[in-house]
Amino acid sequence: MTSTPPGPGSLAAGHLPVAKGHGTQNDFVLLDDRDGLLALDAPLVRALADRRAGLGGDGVIRVAPSASLPEGTAVLADEPRARWFMDYRNADGSIAQMCGNGVRVFAAYLERLGAWDGAGELALGTRAGVRRVTRVPVPDGLADAVWYSVDMGRWFLPGGERATDAGSDAEVRVAGLDVPRAALSVDLGNPHTVLALADEAELEAADLTRAPDVAPVPPDGTNVELVVPLGEHTMDDGTVVGRVRMRVHERGVGETRSCGTGACAAALAVRTWAGPGAPDVWLVDVPGGTVRVTARPDGHVELAGPAVLVATADIDLDALPAR
């Protein structure tokens, strides 16, 4: 355990202590605001997440007391143990409900700060409700140092039975692909639209430097996942595991190396398309690594994967882009 870094009280002096971490290369700037003193606004988020003039990241995560936010107070009413709240912002400064990779990095950060001992279950507050985190063994064949598993809560298909039967409820046009593709909406506390491609050549051809066009247009935007099913295999213990490869365009960010809720959405969409008898456990390969998604009998989905803290820093606020 390292010593606790200075808190945001130094903000008044023009400096802000931060950390940097990632989950399968979905990267974040982390702020220790356990005293609840930092006013995190969109201009500051954009400046910190700027990859050339700031520290750089797909988003910014603030550790805040749950009791200091209305959303956190609501979480505490359901789970009094959820002392800490993951205040997550996209790189463009917009507020986001959830980030599956971010939850694991948040847990690793709390462990680094000494606010969690890494044992047992950690209950966290998020804008999508309580998230429960545990440390889990690293799967065979993967070299990651530490894995965390997160109960991501309930998931559902906004299109209901009609979308399940049809296999889609939306159409997506992606630059680099010749025709619009049918897609399936999946909700994990934040919105996702998943489309299947024929092979990895199509996946490579997709141009995600531009946001895909989704119809009908989602009222709050959507993350778009492009997936290629890679089949199934049986583990030594008899568990059948599916596998998919994915790329993602995140709303408010652009293409990222990984997206935790997006990996869940991709696995759940492919599982829906596969129909009865499809595996409950899926490995999802993203440009930044591999995560494991499990559809549980209670209607919840579980996401497991690595979390890595790579640096601490002291940001000179006067040197950031104009806010």
Q: Which residues of 286-319 are buried (b: 16+ CB within 10 A; e: fewer)?
A: bebbbbbbbbeeeeebbbbbbbbbeeeeebebee
Residue matched to tokens 């010593």: 3
Check 31, 82, 96, 99 and give the catalytic one. Answer: 99
Residue 2's Cβ-side half-sphere holds a number of Cα atoms within 13 Å equal to: 12
- Kind plus residue range of the DSSP H or E element containing 272: helix 260-274
Q: What is the largest CA-CA distance in the chain?
A: 60
Of 255, 272, 239, 242, nearest to 155 by C-alpha is 272
Q: Is 264 a catalytic residue?
A: no
Nearby residues of 311 by Cβ (< 8 Å), 6 or more positions away: 19, 20
Count of beta carbons in the 10 Å neighbourhood of residue 98: 21
Q: Is 99 a catalytic residue?
A: yes
Distance CA 177, CA 156 (A): 28
Distance CA 155, CA 151 (A): 11
Check 163, 259, 268, 286 and give the catalytic one. Answer: 259
Positions marked active-site: 99, 259
